[in-house]
Amino acid sequence: MSSPMIRLLLADDQDLVRGGLSALLNLEPDIEVVAEVGRGDQLVQAAREHTPDVALVDIEMPGMDGIEAVRQITAAGLSARCLIVTTFGRPGYLRRAMDAGAAGFVVKDTPSDQLAQMVRRVAAGDRVVDPTLAADSLAGGINPLTEREQQVLRAAAEGGSIRAIAARLHLSQGTVRNHLSAAIGKTGAENRHDAARQAMHSGWL
């Protein structure tokens, strides 16, 4: 008796990467790519429409980053189990992805046969994490930034003024300054832009 087909959704903003993954994984006898999207804000709707068993999700996409999209899939109670596949093997990303509800985290240079096996394991209910990245994440410690500090730093990274950040996040300017000061202290940065850069490099944003 043959195994049931695993329905797969691919989310990656690079057409070449997405097409390559689709071609390789469709060669597997028990995996069928049922949908592809190139934007993070298309992922939840695609998961609703195509009811995949597994979603392979890139992190950096337009519209919405992959980790937030995974968080929304999890919050919506959709059946798709999410496997993050990214070029950016940063320890902070791993923690954020797992906190968002991801079932696994691997880097894009994973051989296709190993990636297919990870898809099968995630479909079967397992959690899979790149072992080197897992070790780095443990060594790197927990993200020191609070959720609000992360929000303020993301806004600062986009070049907003204190007033603009405060308006966007519905906070007072004094509160924004306090969060930025705390984030600068925790990252050991010289200023808010340096703090945002360091936090991004560590995968905390």
42 and 16 fall within a common domain: yes
Domain of 192 in residue numbering reads as 147-201
The DSSP output letter for 28 is S
117 — pLDDT class (breaks 50, 70, 90): very high
pLDDT at 84 over 90: yes
51: its two tokens: 């009811």
pLDDT at 1 over 50: no
> Residue 187's domain is classified under what CATH number?
1.10.10.10
70 and 25 fall within a common domain: yes
Instruction: Note whether residue 21 is domain-resident.
Output: yes
User: Do the bridges between strand 54-57 and strand 128-129 make them parallel or antiparallel, or are there none, so unpaired?
Assistant: unpaired
Which of the residue ranges 48-52, 76-80, 192-196 would you say has the lowest mean pLDDT?
Answer: 192-196
DSSP calls for 26-55: HTSTTEEEEEEESSGGGHHHHHHHH--SEE
What is the reported pLDDT for 141? 58
108 and 50 fall within a common domain: yes
Q: What is d(CA 57, CA 67) in angstroms, rounded to the nearest whole number?
A: 8
> Residue 81's domain is classified under what CATH number?
3.40.50.2300
What is the reported pLDDT for 48? 96
> Final residue of a domain: which of 99, 115, 140?
140
Please tell me whether the overall predicted TM-score, pTM, comes out greater than 0.85 for this model: no
H or E stretch covering 8: strand 6-11
Which residue bears the tokens 């968002």?
Answer: 100
- Please say whether the beta carbons of 145 and 121 come within 8 A: no
54 and 154 fall within a common domain: no
91 and 56 fall within a common domain: yes
The string of pLDDT tens digits covering residues 121-169 is 999 999 888 776 665 555 455 677 888 998 999 898 887 789 999 998 9
Q: What is d(CA 62, CA 177) in angstroms, rounded to the nearest whole number?
A: 28
Query: Which one has a higher pLDDT value, 136 or 192?
Result: 192
pLDDT at 73 over 70: yes
How many structural domains compose the chain?
A: 2
For range 99-103, the mean pLDDT: 90
pLDDT at 111 over 70: yes
Instruction: Note whether residue 64 is domain-resident.
Output: yes
Question: For the chain, what is the mean pLDDT?
Answer: 87
